[in-house]
Structures are given as structure tokens and as C-alpha cells.
């Protein structure tokens, strides 16, 4: 898991430097798009074992957002699962947490607006204020907790 964070941080840092060095205008937009894809790949690909498999579009999805809407939903879900994994690792939680909430995909960026942290089992004894602080500092999102929810 430590390699995962180092990879994501390294890709993010290199992306930030390249963005600062890129010229303004259309070139900067293109560079930002490519670097955003690189950061997204660094976050998501390890979660899928190194391959990004896009599921077939479920029946009926074409009328409610199509492939683009479906992929946006799956991207948001992957972001919440990644945050769940990071929280579990950072606070040494063996089980019992789940994250949900509200997020939007704007262009090539996922904006987390609200996080709901659900605790059960051994996670009920975790340092909840520290976990909320960690989530809030890293996302800027409003956080709430549900104890013992399913």
C-alpha cells in the first residue's frame, strides 16, 4: 500500500511541476488533460490489478446518461473505494468502514462534495475525529459519520 501512495504522490508532484512549466493557452489545456489522465490512472489502475476494464453498458443506461454518464458514476465509485482503502491503511482498520457521499465529475476532475463515513464492528473504536479531519483536509468536503449502519 505504501508503494501505491508513493506512486500517486510522485505522479501528482511531477504533474504539478509540468503544469507550472507548461505555456499558457491551448497547450496548457492539453497538458492538463493528459496529466489528469495520468493521475487518474495512477489512482485507479492499481485497484484493478493493473488493468482498467470497462464494463459493458447495462441495458437502459443509454437513456440515462449513456456510456459517459456510466463511466462518470464508476469513476466516482472508484474514488470513494480508493479513499476507503487509504483510510483503512492510514488508521490500521481491519474492517468495518465504508464511504459514500456526493461527488461530481467536472471535465477531468472529480470534486467530492460530501462524505458519509459508516462505521461498524471494530471500526467503532477508531479515532473518528482524526479520520474526519484526514478526509476533510484531503478533499475539502463536508463529512458526517453513521455509527453501526449497514
* CATH number of the structural domain spanning residue 137: 3.30.300
What pLDDT score was predicted for residue 9? Answer: 84
My answer on whether 72 and 125 are in the same domain is yes
Whole-prediction pTM value? 0.53
My answer on whether 37 and 106 are in the same domain is no
My answer on whether 148 and 86 are in the same domain is yes
What pLDDT score was predicted for residue 57? Answer: 47
What pLDDT score was predicted for residue 53? Answer: 44
Sign of CA dihedral 15, 20, 23, 28: positive
My answer on whether 28 and 82 are in the same domain is no
My answer on whether 21 and 65 are in the same domain is no
In the predicted model, residues of the chain with pLDDT beneath 70 are: 1, 45-69, 149-150
Q: Which domain holds residue 45?
A: 1-51
Of 145, 112, 114, the closest CA to residue 128 belongs to: 145
My answer on whether 60 and 45 are in the same domain is no
My answer on whether 85 and 40 are in the same domain is no
Burial class (CB in 10 A: 0-12, 13-18, 19+), 35: buried
My answer on whether 20 and 84 are in the same domain is no
C-alpha cell at 13: 508532484
Amino acid at each position: 500500500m505504501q508503494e501505491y501512495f508513493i506512486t500517486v504522490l510522485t505522479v501528482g508532484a511531477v504533474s504539478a511541476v509540468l503544469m507550472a512549466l507548461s505555456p499558457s493557452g491551448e497547450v496548457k489545456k492539453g497538458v492538463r488533460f493528459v496529466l489528469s489522465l495520468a493521475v487518474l490512472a495512477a489512482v485507479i489502475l492499481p485497484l484493478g490489478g493493473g488493468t482498467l476494464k470497462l464494463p459493458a453498458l447495462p441495458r437502459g443506461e443509454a437513456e440515462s446518461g449513456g456510456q459517459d454518464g456510466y463511466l462518470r458514476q464508476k469513476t466516482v465509485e472508484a474514488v470513494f473505494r480508493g479513499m476507503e482503502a487509504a483510510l483503512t491503511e492510514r488508521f490500521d482498520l481491519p474492517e468495518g468502514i465504508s464511504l459514500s457521499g456526493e461527488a461530481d465529475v467536472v471535465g477531468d476532475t472529480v470534486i467530492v462534495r460530501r462524505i458519509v463515513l459508516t462505521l461498524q464492528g471494530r471500526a467503532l473504536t477508531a479515532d473518528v475525529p482524526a479520520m474526519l479531519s484526514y478526509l476533510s483536509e484531503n478533499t475539502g468536503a463536508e463529512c458526517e459519520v453513521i455509527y453501526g449502519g449497514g
